[in-house]
Amino acid sequence: MPASVRPGRLWRLDLQSNAVSRFEPRLPKLNRLDSNPEYALGGPFFAQAFGDVIWAVADKDIFRFDGQQWERIKHPDLP
């Protein structure tokens, strides 16, 4: 299910209880001006599940969640 999310926050909906909670493990900080995660400023991003994987895309980041951990995808067009 696609979702537009706020900077640094990804939420999950429990379909049985209708409870909303913060997705764990938390998405790493997103980069806007600097590709170093220690200096991330955050920013709007888009998240979508495809099969068993969640993808999160921001201005300068692409992340993949495989059910266990987040992985930052290196792309040659992104610093």
**pLDDT tens by residue, 15-52:** 899 888 888 887 777 655 555 554 444 555 778 888 88
- Tell me the pairing of strands 62-65 and 3-5: unpaired
What is the rounded CA–CA span in Å between residue 55 and residue 39? 22
| pLDDT class of 10 with cuts at 50, 70, 90 | confident
> Domain limits of the chain?
3-71
**pLDDT at site 17:** 93
